[in-house]
Amino acid sequence: MKLEHFAYNVDNPPAMAAWYSRHLGWTLARQGGAPDHTTFLRDAHTGVMVELYHQPSGAIPDYRSLNPFTLHIAMASDTPDADKARLVQAGAEPLSDRTLEDGTRLIMLRDPFGVCLQICRRAPGYFAEV
């Protein structure tokens, strides 16, 4: 098996999908209409998708109140400072910016919809071969 998608129950899937497409470069794989507006966005580099939908029968988390270590979407970046500046300009809220001893860079932001996004630039050899 391989990872296909992560799913998020959100208040406004069309607006969130538009922001993610515009600012994260994810492409629309499938989009449905009312009432749930189920939308799949695909990362062009990995093929992994994020599903956004509005399903009142399930709780919509208060993403804005969640600690970033509870839930976040992490993206690898070769240019973390430029990506941080670009996303903040687009309405993301900066939360933290750390450089670990090995040189790994971790930047945490909150998107305009409350979901936490992490920008990662890992030090060479960070992930061991398994």
Do 1-60 and 62-124 come out as alike in CATH topology? Answer: yes
**Tokens 């899937």 identify what position?**
13
User: How is domain 1-60 classified at the CATH fold level?
Assistant: 3.30.720
Q: How would residue 129 be classed by pLDDT, with cut points 50, 70 and 90? A: low
Q: How would residue 63 be classed by pLDDT, with cut points 50, 70 and 90? A: very high
Helix/strand/coil (H, E, C) string of 21-46?
HHHHCCEEEEECCCCCCCEEEECCCC
Q: How would residue 76 be classed by pLDDT, with cut points 50, 70 and 90? A: very high
Q: How would residue 130 be classed by pLDDT, with cut points 50, 70 and 90? A: low
Is residue 30's pLDDT more than 60?
A: yes
Q: What is the pLDDT of residues 34-44, one digit of tens each?
A: 999 999 999 98
Q: Which residues on neighbouring strands pair with residue 49, listed in sequence order? A: 5, 42
Exposed (0-12), middle (13-18) or buried (19+): which is 20, by Cβ within 10 Å? buried
> How is the chain split into domains, by residue range?
1-60, 62-124
Q: What is the pLDDT of residue 127?
A: 85
Is 0.85 surpassed by the pTM of this model?
A: yes
**Class of the CATH-defined domain 62-124:** alpha beta
